[in-house]
């Protein structure tokens, strides 16, 4: 069973993603409300995969990505960012930091499942 970390300040988005991860993929789920909290949860639980919102208080998704990509332990962890449609510049920055994919808000369940499925298939290969 794989472990996933959802980092998003919107608890409704967290609940939707948690439902998808549990029902479709049987992930163990960890959650954080911002990047700073996410760093703590990451260090404590060593997830296999991260779903990361870009726009959050305290530490946003780009700042979180910059931090984890500095650490050899987390350099290659798959990350799918979650972004509003108007965050094109942030998505471009995130691509430069090695994200696996991105999901646009409002979340489309089918697209989200397909993107997570690709991550799981790659996890299964390792």
- Name all domains of the chain by residue range, CATH numbers in brackets: 3-120 (3.40.50.2300)
Gap between the Cα atoms of 97 and 20, Å rounded = 25
Bridge partners for 70 per DSSP: none
The whole-angstrom separation of Cα 96 and Cα 84 is 18
| Phi-psi region at 52: left, alpha or beta (left = phi > 0; alpha = psi -120 to 50) | beta
Query: What pLDDT does 11 receive?
Result: 94
Mind listing the pLDDT tens digit of every residue in the chain (126 residues)?
Answer: 899 999 999 999 999 999 999 999 889 999 999 999 999 999 999 999 999 999 999 999 999 999 999 999 999 999 999 987 666 777 788 888 889 999 988 899 999 999 999 999 998 886
* pLDDT score at 33: 97
Sign of the C-alpha dihedral computed for residues 25, 29, 23 and 104 taken in this order? negative
| pTM for this prediction | 0.93
d(CA 71, CA 83): 24
Q: What is the pLDDT of residue 85?
A: 65
Token pair belonging to 36: 């700073």
pLDDT of residue 91: 79
Residues in the chain: 126
CA distance 55 to 10: 10
Q: Which pLDDT value is given to residue 52?
A: 96
- In the chain, what is the straight-line distance between the N-terminal and C-terminal CA atoms, in Å? 14
């Amino acid at each position: 069973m794989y472990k996933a970390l959802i980092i998003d300040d919107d608890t409704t988005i967290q609940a939707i993603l948690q439902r998808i991860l549990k029902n479709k993929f049987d992930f163990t789920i960890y959650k954080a409300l911002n990047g700073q909290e996410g760093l703590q949860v990451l260090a404590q639980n060593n997830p296999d995969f991260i779903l990361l919102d870009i726009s959050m208080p305290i530490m946003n998704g780009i700042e979180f990505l910059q931090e984890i990509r500095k650490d050899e332990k987390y350099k290659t962890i798959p990350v799918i960012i979650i972004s509003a449609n108007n965050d094109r510049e942030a998505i471009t920055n995130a691509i430069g930091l090695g994200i696996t994919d991105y999901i646009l808000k409002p979340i489309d369940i089918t697209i989200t499942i397909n993107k997570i499925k690709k991550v799981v298939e790659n996890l299964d290969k390792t």
